[in-house]
Amino acid sequence: MSAAWAPPGAPDAPPCTNQSCAPRDLVLLGFAHVPTLRPLLAALFLAMFLLTLLGNTLIVLLTALDPALRVPMYFFLRHLALLEISFLLDIAPWLLVTLLRPGRGVAPAGCALQLLLVLSCVTSESFLLTAMAWDRYVAICRPLHYGTIMSPQLCHLLAATCWLAGVPVSLVFTIWLFSFPFCGPRGIRHFFCDIAPLLSLVCADTRVFEASVLAATVLVMIVPFCLIATSYSKILATVLRMPSATGRHKALSTCASHLIVVALFYGTTGVIHLRPKASYSPESKQVVSLSYTLVTPMLNPLIYSLRNKEAKAALGRVCVQRRGTHLP
């Protein structure tokens, strides 16, 4: 890659002061191109942050407190909610900082830590969605062996594998990226530290790095997506052979929420990580990034609670139990 450049008319990072940043700090420019909208965006994103945190926390509590939800499907859903909370806490605070205190610097070490967590969470979610698809495959295609196959030991092993799967990938690429020399403008045209905007600050040949990132993206996104597609093709074949229309509807309804979440996750992350960098502007990249950093985590609890009668019934039971414990 050639020396760092900034597109014509792009806002640059404000000059450092003793209070805002050190000379080597990076600056997340975020939505600096729409200064008049920053207060409104801050209020909107804060509301989304609180709603997402509340919804996913509720999923974690419901699946932990209600005995009827202590089954593999809701076990993986609890881990998905915990993963969304982790991802949200990594992204949202700095997003609000870029809106409320524009020009505030972030140390390279802090930026590297955020990138490490982002890559780890995205990778882990991709594998976790695959584990959830496997659970649905076993439940529908091999129902007589479901309890044996999806044992508590296997579920915990799958969950631990999903959480840890993103660590090696994120460590390698974070250390590799921050080993390059940064030069030119300090401003990162994004609201969090991501690979593509950081690469625009690098003044070195990054072709091998970019090829490796693409290969890793295929490994951690395309391969799991293909496994999910294979699982659901077998599920669909099994459902179509069911003689009862009621049975077919019940089987498909247990998969509907997961399919919607899969479509949201891969539809948004795929646009960001698989399209050529030259084919979209930094502004459009920020808009798409909002989809999988704020919108999708906010919608997941709504999708599972609104489309799932068991989740709604569990919420009612927990509320009744909690109210009963406070009665004299």
How much is the pLDDT for 290? 85
237 in any annotated domain: yes
How much is the pLDDT for 97? 87
89 in any annotated domain: yes
311 in any annotated domain: yes
Name residue, tokens 């530290």.
193
Mean pLDDT within 107-126:
93
- For residue 7, is pLDDT > 70? no
How much is the pLDDT for 174? 96
Q: Where are the alpha helices (DSSP H) in the chain?
A: 38-65, 72-100, 108-141, 146-149, 152-177, 195-199, 207-217, 223-240, 245-274, 282-290, 296-306, 309-325
- Which range of residues forms the domain containing residue 88? 26-325
Q: Are 162 and 79 in contact (CB under 8 A)?
A: yes
How much is the pLDDT for 36? 86
Mean pLDDT within 132-151:
92
Question: Counting every residue, how long is the chain?
Answer: 328
How much is the pLDDT for 235? 93
For residue 254, the Cα-to-chain-centroid distance in whole angstroms is 22
Q: What pLDDT, in 10s, does the model give residues 50-71?
A: 999 999 998 898 888 877 778 8
Write out the DSSP string of 52-64: HHHHHHHHHHHHH
Residues near 155 by beta carbon (within 8 Å), at least 6 away in sequence: 72, 75, 76
Q: How confident is the model at residue 117 (pLDDT cuts 50, 70, 90)?
A: very high
How high is the mean pLDDT of the chain? 82
Q: Which residues pair with 27 in a beta bridge?
A: 105, 187
99 in any annotated domain: yes
How far lies 103's CA from each of 21, 43, 50, 92, 199, in Å?
Answer: 8, 19, 24, 17, 20
Domain count, the chain: 1
Residue 45: which CATH number? 1.20.1070.10
Q: What pLDDT, in 10s, does the model give residues 165-223?
A: 989 999 999 999 999 998 867 788 888 898 888 988 888 899 999 899 889 988 888 89
Mean pLDDT within 161-168:
93
3-state secondary structure of 182: strand
Q: What pLDDT, in 10s, does the model give residues 226-260?
A: 999 999 999 999 998 888 888 788 778 778 888 88
18 in any annotated domain: no
How far lies 177's CA from each of 111, 118, 188, 233, in Å?
Answer: 11, 14, 14, 38
